[in-house]
């Protein structure tokens, strides 16, 4: 992962701080010691009770710090807490016993071992944490007993201890080795903590680095000091101060510091699949989790520099400032978006449909609003699909209703129109039987009979054609309307009694040829068939209406009264008796169903007086139909 | 035996064969009833209102087919009952439609009877009997 500038700067700061602590822990006490020696050269302040108090206090504080480490700090926070605590307790035990001694060999022996064991305990931080996992419970009491046994044993077997002092009261090499070794081990631990602080910036590391470096210096200063002199008192005080600060610190380490550092390392909200932001009274985004950054398609750091208005649709931004100010006066839990279409604009300018929850957190510095964002893109898409399916269902329902109505109408009319010719045929046959002698009557009856049979055939044929209208099977071809209309007209107008006029430009386009041919043929045939004169004129024109053509077929025949303009399109409807003008009453029903099936419509333009004008539309392109 | 009265029959029927059937049925009776033929509701109304080619003398009965072009039987009945002069006319429906709806609507328009063509025997003998007894015993408006 690429480190941000802030992280780099922080690391540099941590490194500087840790170097400073290491240096200060070593140099400052040394300088102070020299200064004290120079100031109080040769001075000796012999005060055994004071020394006893300082040492015993230091020992007790070491125990307190160890207890805090053992009970309040967890392994995953500080893996080497057990050896550190044992070091503190060993040092504490020996210091307490040391406090009760008069200066002499035992006095130096106990103190030197205190420094050495303490340094050993702290130096264990260099060892892998897993070595110490799970040993605390049993080892700690045993170790404490061992420390006390060692200290009290030393007191009891005082005469057997190796000499720590020379005859003239100077420290021997053994004492020096224990003190300097312990001091160096403290230094080693200090270096470890400082290094870890430089990397991670954990404050407890900085503190432990300081503490161990002060104790390290105390061990080394032992070299420079002699009993009761100024430097000797100085490093005793230094140790006491270090202890007190340590306890204070370890206490907070257990209570707070580790917890905040955990939050800095692991952000629980980044694992939440909903966007979470904290917004202040001025609309600034003070906190955001990863999901929120993902919703707005921004880097997390970038998101934290924005205001909420940046993500509103442009036209709502100005108004929102007022609404937000008003809301902040008395913020309450609010749900937005569930019922209405709420959406944000992300960094790329796209709409993101959202459900939004507002929950205020009241603080002294002014309320913070926790904004929870739930991306409902998926849900919105599902709803859209559902609505589309519902529309399709509705359309097919309407289609079904229409076809049911048609079927009802068909059943009703068919019962008459299909039965009537049969009934007639039966009657005519019986009359022929009765009137056998009257040749003229018989001939007339037979003529009618043949007509009824034809009517029946025609009716069945038209019904079949009507039922078959459908676009699926139809071929698409280039059609020249002028040519098609002329051909149809010539075929129908065998006697050349009628005239065809093609008005204006007629189009040439690719479409379903057969159904369009059927529409023109039926319309032209109607114009000629229902004409009440022996001659007449039919005109065909076309207008461009964008996606479709509007065709007009006009005649100068008797016309259709306005009241029948719609009725003529119903099945089996004729305006004249079928005996006057033979017809099934299906022609216009077939035309209407055909035009509608192919994306157009047809109507009779209402007019008074003579002449009929059928106007129908036909899609220009098969794709838009 | 009562004296036979002449009764004019207005036959509203678009089908030539059915019209002929009625004519044949009423041909062989003692008193010949004049038959006036209309081919649809519009023509029948025109005839009754005296705007037609011939006059329809009272008393008359109307034999009405339901399925006709332009104005069908039921529309004709509506117009008839709405006309203050013609509303008392006696009408028999003579049809092939056996639909309940048609029958109900016809009787709502106060028809004197609803006769199914398919129920009549060949030659419409029953129709002749109906008209004859009607002509002899019923007092018409």
**Would you say residue B63 lies in a domain?**
yes
Topology of domain A269-375, per CATH? Beta-Lactamase (3.30.450)
Q: Tell me if A595 sits within 8 A of A587, measured CB to CB.
A: no
Alpha-carbon dihedral A496, A499, A504, A506, rounded to 10 degrees = -40
User: Which chain A residues have a beta carbon less than 8 Å from that of B123?
Assistant: 430, 434
Beta-bridge mates of residue A410: none
Regarding predicted confidence, which is higher, A389 or A171? Answer: A389
Pairwise CA distance, residues A66 & A85, whole Å:
4
Tens digit of pLDDT for each residue in A591-603? 998 998 888 899 9
Q: Where are the beta strands (DSSP E) in A209-347?
A: 275-279, 285-288, 334-336, 343-345
Domain hosting residue B21, numbered range: 8-74+86-98+111-127
Residue carrying the six token digits 């992962």: A1
Encode pLDDT of A395-423 as tens digits. 899 888 888 887 887 777 777 777 788 88
Lowest mean pLDDT among A305-319, A572-586, A607-621: A572-586
Which residue is associated with the tokens 């997390």?
A300
Contacts of residue A529, defined as CB under 8 A and 6 or more positions apart, other chains included, come to A581, A583
pLDDT of residue A145: 94
pLDDT at A470 (0 to 100): 73
Pick A575's closest partner by Cβ from B17, B67, B70. Answer: B70
Residue B66 confidence (pLDDT) above 60: yes
pLDDT at B124: 79
Residue of chain B whose Cα is closest to the Cα of A426 = B122
Q: Is the pLDDT of residue A2 over 60?
A: no
Q: pLDDT averaged over chain B?
A: 86
Residues of B with CB under 8 A from a CB of A: 14-18, 20-21, 24, 39-40, 66-70, 95-99, 117-118, 122-123
- For residues A584-591, give the mean pLDDT: 87
In a domain, B31, yes or no: yes
- Judge whether A419 is closer than 8 Å to chain B, CB to CB: yes
- Look at residue A473 and give its three-state secondary structure: coil
- The reported pLDDT for the residue numbered A524 is 93
**Per the CB < 8 Å rule, is A428 touching B24?**
no
Q: What span, in angstroms and rounded, lies between the C-alpha atoms of A542 and A537?
A: 17
Residue with tokens 């009716």: A459
Nearest Cα residue to A323 out of A331, A311, A335: A331
Q: What is the ipTM of this complex?
A: 0.74
On the question of pLDDT at B114 being above 60, the answer is yes
pLDDT of residue A486: 92
Is the pLDDT assigned to residue A580 strictly greater than 80?
Answer: no
CA distance A235 to A233: 6
**Structure tokens that stand for B25 in this block:** 């049925």
Pick the range with the lowest mean pLDDT from A42-51, A119-128, A131-140, A376-385.
Answer: A131-140
The Cβ-side half-sphere exposure at B136, using a 13 Å CA radius, reads: 13
What's the gap in Å between the CA of A581 and the closest CA on chain B?
A: 11
Given this model, what pLDDT does residue B107 score?
Answer: 93
List Cβ neighbours of A36 (8 Å cut-off, separation of 6 or more): A230, A231, A233, A234
Q: Do the domain assignments include residue B3?
A: no
Contact B15 A448 (CB under 8 A): no
Rg, C-alpha atoms of chain B: 14
Q: For residue B57, give how far its alpha carbon lies from the nearest alpha carbon of chain A (Å).
A: 25
Cα four-point dihedral sign A390, A392, A398, A404 = negative
* Domain A473-625 indexed as CATH 3.30.70.2470: no
Is the CATH number 1.10.10 carried by domain A5-265?
Answer: no
Given a cut of 60, is residue A19 above it in pLDDT?
A: yes
- DSSP character at residue A202: -
Instruction: Check if the beta carbon of residue A88 is closer than 8 Å to that of residue A121.
Output: yes
Q: Is the separation of the CB atoms in A542 and A516 below 8 Å?
A: no
Chain Cα centroid distance, residue A550: 51
CB contact (8 A) between residue A577 and residue B69: yes
pLDDT band, residue B1 (cuts 50/70/90): very low
How far A494 CA lies from chain B's nearest CA (Å)? 28
Percent of chain A with pLDDT over 70: 91
Query: Does A443 reach chain B within 8 Å, measured CB to CB?
Result: no
Q: Which residues of A touch B14 (CB under 8 A)?
A: 577-579
Q: Is the pLDDT of residue A494 over 70?
A: yes
pLDDT band at A615 (very low <50, low <70, confident <90, very high): very high
More confident residue, A73 or B105: B105
Q: In the structure, what pLDDT confidence band is assigned to residue A136 with cuts at 50, 70 and 90? A: low
Q: From A434, which residue of chain B is nearest by alpha-carbon distance?
A: B123
Residue B79 lies in a domain: no
Q: Which residue of B has its CA nearest to A424?
A: B17
Joined together, the tokens standing for residue B18 give 């059915």
Residue A262 binned pLDDT confidence (cut-offs 50, 70, 90): very low
pLDDT confidence of residue A560: 86
Q: Is the pLDDT of residue A542 over 60?
A: yes
pLDDT over 90 (residue A460): no
* β-sheet bridge partners, residue A496: none
Closest by CA to A489, choosing from A480, A477, A501, is A501
Q: What tens digit of pLDDT does each residue of A357-387 get?
A: 999 988 777 788 999 999 888 888 898 899 9
Buried residues in A17-31 as b, exposed as e (16+ CB within 10 A):
bbeebbeebbeebee
Q: What is the pLDDT of residue A205?
A: 77
Average pLDDT, chain A: 84
**Closest Cα in chain B, distance from residue A430 (Å):** 7
pLDDT reading at A261 higher than 50? no
For residue A74, the Cα-to-chain-centroid distance in whole angstroms is 36
- Please give the pLDDT value at position A258: 45
**Minimal Cα–Cα distance from B86 to chain A, Å?**
23
8 A C-beta contact, residue A368 and residue A331: no
**CB neighbours of B115 closer than 8 A, spacing ≥ 6?**
B92, B93, B94, B95, B127, B130
Tell me, what CATH number does B70's domain have? 3.40.50.2300
CA distance A326 to A320: 10
Q: How many CB atoms lie within 10 A of CB A286?
A: 12
Question: Could you tell me if residue B80 is inside a domain?
Answer: no
What is the model's pLDDT at position B63? 94
Interval B17-45 mean pLDDT: 85
The number of folded domains in chain B is 1
Tens of pLDDT, residue by residue over A115-124, are 999 999 999 9
What is the predicted pLDDT for the residue at B96? 81
pLDDT band for A342, please (50, 70, 90 cuts).
Answer: confident
**The predicted structure's pLDDT at residue A171:** 79
pLDDT exceeds 90 at position B91: yes
Do A485 and A498 touch, CB atoms closer than 8 A? no
Q: pLDDT band for position B126 (50/70/90)?
A: confident
Q: Using pLDDT thresholds of 50, 70 and 90, give the confidence band for residue A74.
A: low
Q: Is residue B133 part of a domain?
A: no
The backbone torsions φ and ψ at residue B66, rounded to the nearest 5 degrees and listed phi first, read -85, -40
Residue A217 CB neighbour total at 10 angstroms: 27
Q: Are A144 and A131 in contact (CB under 8 A)?
A: no
Listed by start position, the domains of chain A span 5-265, 269-375, 473-625
pLDDT at A252 exceeding the cut of 80: no
pLDDT band at A338 (very low <50, low <70, confident <90, very high): low
């Amino acid at each position: 992962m690429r480190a941000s500038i802030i992280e780099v700067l922080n690391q540099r700061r941590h490194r500087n701080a840790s170097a400073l602590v290491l240096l200060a822990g070593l140099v400052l006490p040394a300088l102070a010691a020299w200064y004290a020696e120079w100031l109080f050269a040769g001075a000796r302040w012999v005060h055994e009770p004071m020394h006893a108090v300082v040492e015993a206090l230091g020992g007790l504080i070491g125990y307190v710090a160890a207890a805090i480490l053992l009970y309040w700090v967890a392994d995953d926070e500080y893996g080497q807490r057990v050896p550190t605590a044992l070091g503190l307790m060993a040092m504490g035990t020996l210091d307490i016993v040391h406090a009760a001694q008069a200066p002499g060999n035992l006095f130096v022996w106990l103190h030197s071992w205190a420094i050495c064991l303490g340094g050993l305990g702290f130096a264990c931080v260099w060892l892998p944490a897993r070595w110490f996992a799970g040993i605390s419970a049993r080892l700690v009491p045993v170790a404490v007993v061992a420390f006390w046994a060692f200290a009290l044993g030393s007191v009891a077997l005082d005469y057997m201890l190796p000499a720590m002092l020379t005859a003239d009261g100077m420290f021997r090499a053994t004492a020096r080795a224990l003190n300097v070794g312990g001091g160096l081990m403290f230094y080693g631990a200090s270096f470890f903590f400082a290094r870890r602080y430089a990397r991670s910036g954990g404050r407890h590391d900085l503190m432990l680095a300081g503490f161990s470096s002060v104790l390290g210096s105390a061990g080394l200063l032992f070299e420079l000091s002699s009993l009761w002199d100024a430097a000797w008192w100085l490093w005793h005080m230094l140790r006491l101060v270090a202890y007190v600060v340590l306890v204070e610190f370890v206490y907070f380490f257990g209570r707070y510091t580790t917890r905040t550092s955990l939050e800095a390392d692991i952000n629980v909200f980044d694992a939440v699949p909903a966007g979470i932001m904290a917004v202040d009274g001025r609309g600034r985004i003070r906190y955001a989790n990863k999901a929120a950054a993902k919703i707005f398609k921004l880097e997390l750091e970038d998101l934290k520099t924005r205001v909420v208005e940046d993500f509103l649709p442009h036209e709502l931004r100005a108004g929102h400032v007022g609404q937000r100010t008003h809301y902040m006066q008395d913020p309450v839990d609010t749900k937005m978006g569930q019922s209405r279409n709420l959406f944000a604009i992300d960094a790329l300018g796209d709409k993101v449909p959202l459900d939004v929850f507002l929950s205020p957190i009241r603080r002294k510095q002014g309320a913070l609003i926790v904004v929870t964002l739930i991306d409902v893109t998926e849900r919105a898409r599902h709803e859209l699909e559902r609505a589309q399916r519902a529309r399709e269902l509705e359309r097919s329902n309407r289609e079904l209703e229409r076809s049911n109505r048609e079927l009802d109408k068909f059943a009703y009319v068919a019962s008459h129109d299909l039965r009537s010719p049969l009934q007639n045929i039966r009657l005519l046959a019986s009359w022929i039987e009765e009137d056998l002698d009257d040749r003229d009557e018989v001939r007339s009856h037979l003529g009618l009979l043949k007509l009824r049979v034809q009517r029946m055939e025609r009716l069945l044929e038209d019904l079949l054609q009507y039922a078959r209208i459908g676009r699926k099977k139809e071929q698409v071809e280039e059609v020249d309307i002028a040519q098609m209309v002329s051909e149809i007209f010539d075929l129908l107008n065998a006697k050349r009694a009628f005239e065809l006029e093609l008005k204006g430009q007629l189009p040439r386009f690719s479409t379903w040829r057969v159904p369009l041919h059927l529409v023109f043929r039926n319309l032209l045939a109607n114009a000629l068939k229902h004409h009440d004169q022996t001659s007449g004129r039919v005109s065909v024109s076309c207008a461009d209406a964008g996606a479709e053509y509007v065709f007009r077929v006009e005649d100068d025949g008797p016309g259709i009264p306005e009241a029948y303009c719609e009725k003529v399109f119903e099945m089996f409807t004729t305006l004249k008796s079928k005996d006057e003008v033979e017809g099934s009453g299906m022609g216009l029903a077939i035309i209407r169903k055909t035009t509608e099936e192919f994306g157009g419509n047809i109507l009779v333009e209402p007019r008074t007086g003579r002449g009929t004008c059928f106007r129908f539309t036909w899609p220009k392109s098969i794709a838009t139909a | 035996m009562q004296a036979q009265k002449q009764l004019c029959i207005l036959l509203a029927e678009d089908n030539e064969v059915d019209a002929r059937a009625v004519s044949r049925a009423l041909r062989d009776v003692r008193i010949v009833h004049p038959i006036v033929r209309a081919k649809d509701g519009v023509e029948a109304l025109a005839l009754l209102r005296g705007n037609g080619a011939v006059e329809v003398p009272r008393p008359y009965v109307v034999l009405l087919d339901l399925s006709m072009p332009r104005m069908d039987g039921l529309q004709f009945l509506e117009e008839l009952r709405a006309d203050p002069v013609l509303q008392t006319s006696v009408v028999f429906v003579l049809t092939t439609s056996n639909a309940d709806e048609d029958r109900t609507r016809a009787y709502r328009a106060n028809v004197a009877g609803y006769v199914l063509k398919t129920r009549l025997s060949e030659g419409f003998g029953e129709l002749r009997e109906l008209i004859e007894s009607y002509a002899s015993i019923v007092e018409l408006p």
